[in-house]
């Protein structure tokens, strides 16, 4: 099994009122169609970074995780070109396996601080 991709789809992410120009269902369908055989794609309730919606979290494949790779969080995934770059990076192996293109690095965000109130 490859990477696990978590797509926030509860609060602001996936919300037509917040991002009316984005077809959120088509975006999720596209990710599942492109990655579904080799990678796990799931949705989540709010990931607590609403200012950065739409949010995707890419967890490394098990072997990469054992080798030290960590999840990478992406925000503002609202454009088809950025989504294409993200899909291609995951298909190439994702965290710990594939180099992150400099354009895609612009979408990397920090994970929320779980210890914050």
pLDDT at site 1: 87
Tally of structural domains, the chain: 1
Full domain range(s) for residue 88: 4-109
Per-residue pLDDT tens over the stretch 42-83: 999 889 998 898 999 999 999 999 999 999 999 999 999 999
3-state DSSP helix/strand/coil percent for the chain, to nearest 5?
A: 30, 15, 55
Residue 21 maps to a domain: yes
Could you tell me the pTM of the whole model? 0.93
Pairing of strands 4-8, 40-44: parallel
Residue 116 maps to a domain: no
pLDDT at site 16: 80
Residue 102's CATH number? 3.40.30.10
């Amino acid at each position: 099994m490859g990477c696990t991709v978590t797509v926030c789809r509860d609060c602001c992410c996936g919300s037509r009122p917040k991002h009316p120009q984005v077809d959120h269902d088509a975006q999720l369908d596209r990710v599942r169609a492109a990655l579904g055989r080799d990678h796990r794609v799931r949705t989540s309730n709010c990931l607590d970074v609403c200012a950065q919606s739409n949010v995707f979290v890419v967890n490394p494949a098990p072997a990469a995780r054992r080798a030290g790779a960590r999840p990478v969080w992406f925000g503002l995934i609202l454009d088809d070109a950025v989504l294409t770059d993200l899909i291609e990076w995951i298909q190439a192996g994702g965290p710990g396996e594939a180099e992150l293109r400099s354009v895609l690095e612009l979408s990397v965000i920090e994970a929320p601080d779980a210890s914050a109130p």
